[in-house]
Amino acid sequence: MNSDKYDNINGGKTSEYSPAQRGAMISVAVILIFLMSIFGVAGLHILVDDKEFSESENRVLTDMPKLTFSGIFDGSFMKSFESYLTDQFPFRDKIISLKTYADRVVGKNEENGVYIGQDDFLFDSQSEYNEAQVKEITDAIVSFTKSNKGVKRAFLLAPNSSYIYSDKLPKHLEMPNQRDQIRNIYNLLKKDKSLTWVNVCSLFEKSVKENDTLLYYKTDHHWTTRAAKKVFNVLKEKWGLTTTGNIYENVEAEPKYNFYTVSATFQGTLSSTAGVHDAYDTVEICVPKKSEGTYVVNFESSSLKTPSLFFEEKLEQKNHYEVFLGGNYDKVIISTVSQSPNTLLLIKDSYANCMIPMLTPYFGKIVVLDPRYLTDSLDSIVKENDFTHILFLYNLNTFLEDTSLAQCLAS
Amino acid sequence: MVFSSAVFLFVFFPLMLVLYYLPGFSKDPQKDMAKKNLVLCLASLIFYAWGEPVYIVLMLISIFFNYNLGIDIENHKNSRKKRKNLLIFGVIFNLFMLGFFKYSGFIVENINAVTGNKIEYEGLPLPVGISFYTFQILSYVIDVYKGEVKAQKNLVAFGAYISMFPQLIAGPIVQYSDIERQLTSRTVTIEKFYDGIIYFIRGLGKKVLFANTIGSVYSQVIAEDISSLSVLSSWIAVICYTLQIYFDFSGYSDMAVGLGKMFGFEFVQNFNFPYKATSIKDFWSRWHISLSSWFRDYVYIPLGGNRKGTKRTIINTFIVWSLTGLWHGAAWNFIAWGMFYGVLLILEKYVLKDFLQKLPYAAKYIGTMIVVMIGWVFFSSANLGDAMTLIGSMVGFGGSFIDAQAKYLFSENIFLILVMSLSATGVFETAGNLLHGTKKKICYSVGYIAVFALCIAYLISETYNPFLYFRF
């Protein structure tokens, strides 16, 4: 019966081969394909030059290990050889995309702890809300801000994209309600009655409803510059920041801001972690008009001084978000020509990096501290400077995870 | 080394194939076979030494000791007493090797718990496959003693039997009598090599695509507080583990059978759709068959089996099942797991026999599967307390029946669970039989080649390791 069908393929003529012969031919074909694939990989390994660096994984790839007696004896040679083999595997990146694709075909929306949402959105998992730890941090913040009574102080706590864009999460995936968590934190911080607070959740939820702009990168865990600008606008109003008495006053009554697109090919950390490279993000910078040459940025730990808050060369590399401030540093001092008597202490995580340029027209000096890298004592920094404003800027995930802030404030 | 690694698939195995099939040393088939055995033996030793190089000494000692022991036993044909002493010495030696590496920690721990002493011990890494090859050695020594097989005079052939890499790590436990002839004469045909490839890819797919994927779901759920899992979450976890252990273990056996075929061997079938079983006895005649047969042949029957009355049969059953449990791991929950099956088998045989026979097929099947899954809870848990907690959550002590986590787990994994369940119960096999002849072979071949490609993708992805210094 079956052989009839095959005979028809040959135009109705009787096939030259018997079913047994055809069976044998298939066997030979499979054996050849199998052998070619296992020998082929070995061959390609030898023929193709080893790569030193993986662009997509952002790390140096393992080299062929040196064959030594001790290396074999303690097994370290075997381990390095295995990583060498898999690191230098032919078409490694393509092969990994095949896997993530196959995962999604069978309904898996999670890779390496990153959730693959709708419309190319990638999401980080949320940090755990540990009540004791939150209490410790908020107590430290309150006692620090209270000890700086004459200074204007504000706290900005941004939710994460998995909360704001929760409708894009994979089906049935429920994450903790960050609005409630942020409200709890706010209630603890209210012990300092004159602390300025911006309700970022409400601001963003309204924006989502009006669908006015993208607030978070799809492929990265940061907020966009436009989201930061929204928050900045509210802060400026609440603090009543003006340019009276500084050079901007002569230029315009209010400094105007321009947005410039600096990258349209950004694939951020979530994209890298998941190994999913379907979408690109656009990175914009937001700068006050006529701001060129208006400040000097001093990276104390590396004694680097530059006249720019932007690092163009980072756009050649993997992580385009580092165009802002070049990454994270323990302590950066920005001196502006605004002649404003205001000085700002900014204690922050990387969410602040894209907002810093917006702050420059209003402060003569900005001291930016990242407690995760800071070794200097906060106390002496406060004493050395006569701050008029203190701003905390965090995203909730870092705030909940990071213990260095409490340590830094307590010291 | 494991089969599901790049180093095995793309370096060790191709090299081994070339050396094994390299012609030209001798036209004499006997000498050619000797060369093949030598390649097999040396390659197996490298395979063994890959993960823990020092232990190769252990393997060599085992090979030399038992090689001489077998010949010695045979040389004392006329002195029963001498032979028996040699056998006892040999069994004790081999069990000591196994006991020292696998059970010393467990024994010291229990002595400490009972006496209140604090004897210190250093946990040694377990030599790969020691549980498997010790049992293979014992089958050889005992069979030589009983005169059922001749002692192997060729050290290389003997070494190849003990260390044979396809089944070294996870079985099947090949009894010497099954393979004796193949050690000196075996052939490979195109068809056999083809079958070997198909078996191997099937096993690789079971391990890499099924077991590893579903296993990560299980470990993800179990990493949380198991006492507050919802009913549905805990059942999903247990179902995932049930599927994982089957596909992992039977996958390994399939790969072993496949590799064996490619070198001309025929190993025994180790699994026969255990999740189609309709009774506990049926389950154990389908699960890890080579282990059950080993215990039957070398423990249960020598103890008298079921020929010495009901009481003795029950005692023998208990001994066998406690040992089966202990063989799987040095911890009380494994012993509990073994005893659990001992009790159930006795109940099934003596108490519930008539009742069970009257049950409809579906009830028998579902009942068996629930028992098996509860067995896996004991098997998989870190200790007896955790096992009881998880069983508690399965019946609703954990809280709600269904929660957000359960919904997400369900929607993310239901497709995989369904496909794997159908595969484990042989539905695909039956469906495949609707096809015939050349067409069937083409479909299978194309399918398995695709599976092989996917396996490589999953294997390489496991090593995907982005460095995120810019994580913050």
Mutate to test the interface with B, among A9, A36, A38 (most CBs of B within 10 A): A38
Give A36 to chain B, closest Cα distance, Å: 10
* pLDDT value of residue A179: 92
Q: Taking CB atoms and an 8 Å limit, are A42 and B14 in contact across chains? A: yes
**Strand A122-123 to strand A114-116: parallel, antiparallel, or no bridges (unpaired)?**
antiparallel
Domains of chain B by residue range = 6-185, 192-461
What is the structure's pLDDT at A82?
84
In tens, the pLDDT along A253-306 reads 566 788 889 999 998 888 888 888 889 999 999 888 765 556 777 777 777 788
Task: Quote the tokens at residue A235.
Answer: 């802060």
Residue B470: per-residue pLDDT: 43
List CB contacts (< 8 A) between A38 and chain B: 9-10, 13-14
A107 with B415: Cβ contact below 8 A: yes
Asked if residue A406 lies in contact with residue A137, where contact means CB atoms within 8 angstroms, the answer is yes
How buried is residue A69: exposed, middle or buried, by Cβ count under 10 Å (0-12/13-18/19+)? exposed
**Percent with pLDDT over 70 in chain B:** 97
Chain A residues near residue B436 by CB distance under 8 angstroms? 1-2
The per-residue pLDDT of chain B, averaged, comes to 87
Q: Over range A27-49, report the average pLDDT.
A: 87
Candidate from B17, B457, B464 with C-beta closest to A57: B464
**Surface of B (394-433) touching A: CB under 8 A:** 404-405, 407-408, 410-416, 419
CA pair distance B418, B414, nearest whole angstrom: 6
pLDDT at A248 over 90: no
Q: Could you tell me which chain A residue has the CA closest to the CA of B469?
A: A58
Q: Which residue of chain A comes nearest to B463, CA vs CA?
A: A86
CA-closest candidate to residue B100, choices B56, B134, B54: B134
Residue with tokens 């495949």: B432
**How many CA atoms does the CB half-sphere of A150 hold within 13 Å?**
5
- pLDDT value at residue A345: 93
pLDDT of residue A204: 93
Q: What does the pLDDT average to over B113-136?
A: 80
Check residue A287 and give its pLDDT. 85
Nearest to A272 by CA among A51, A53, A59: A59
On the question of a cis peptide bond just before residue A159, with omega within 30 degrees of 0, the verdict is no
Contacting residues of A for B460, CB less than 8 Å apart: 86, 89, 92, 95-96, 99
pLDDT digits (tens, 9 = 90+) for B17-44: 999 988 766 678 788 888 889 999 999 9
Chain A CA closest to residue B466: A57
> How much is the pTM?
0.82
Where does the pLDDT of residue B356 fall: very low under 50, low under 70, confident under 90, or very high at 90 and above?
A: confident
Supply the DSSP symbol for A322: G
For residues A6 and B396, the model is more confident at B396
- Measured CA to CA, the distance from residue A149 to residue A194 in angstroms comes to 9
User: Is residue B55's pLDDT more than 90?
Assistant: no
Pair B443, B433: CB distance under 8 Å: no
Give chain A's count of helices (H) and strands (E).
Answer: 16, 15
In angstroms, what separates the C-alpha of B369 from chain A's closest C-alpha? 25
Instruction: Report the C-alpha dihedral over residues B405, B411, B412, B416, rounded to 10 degrees.
Output: 130
Tell me the C-alpha distance between A146 and B448, whole Å. Answer: 69
Q: How close A229 gets to chain B, by Cα (Å)?
A: 20
Tracing tokens 């993530």 back to the chain, one arrives at A100
Backbone angles phi, psi at A281, to 5 degrees: -110, 160
* Secondary-structure percent of chain A, ordered helix, strand, coil, rounded to 5: 45, 20, 35
Residues B29-66 as b/e (b if ≥16 CB within 10 A, e otherwise) read eeeebbbbbbbbbbbbbbbbbbbbbebbebbeebbebb
Average pLDDT over residues B126-130: 82
Q: Which helix (H) or strand (E) holds A298?
A: strand A295-299
Distance, CA of B12 to CA of B23 (rounded, Å): 19
> What one-character-per-residue DSSP string does B447-467 give?
HHHHHHHHHHHHHHHTT----
Q: Is B442's Cβ below 8 Å from some Cβ in A?
A: yes
Q: What is d(CA B178, CA B155) in angstroms, rounded to the nearest whole number?
A: 18
Write down the pLDDT at residue A4. 45
Query: Rounded distance, CA B245 to CA A372, Å?
Result: 43
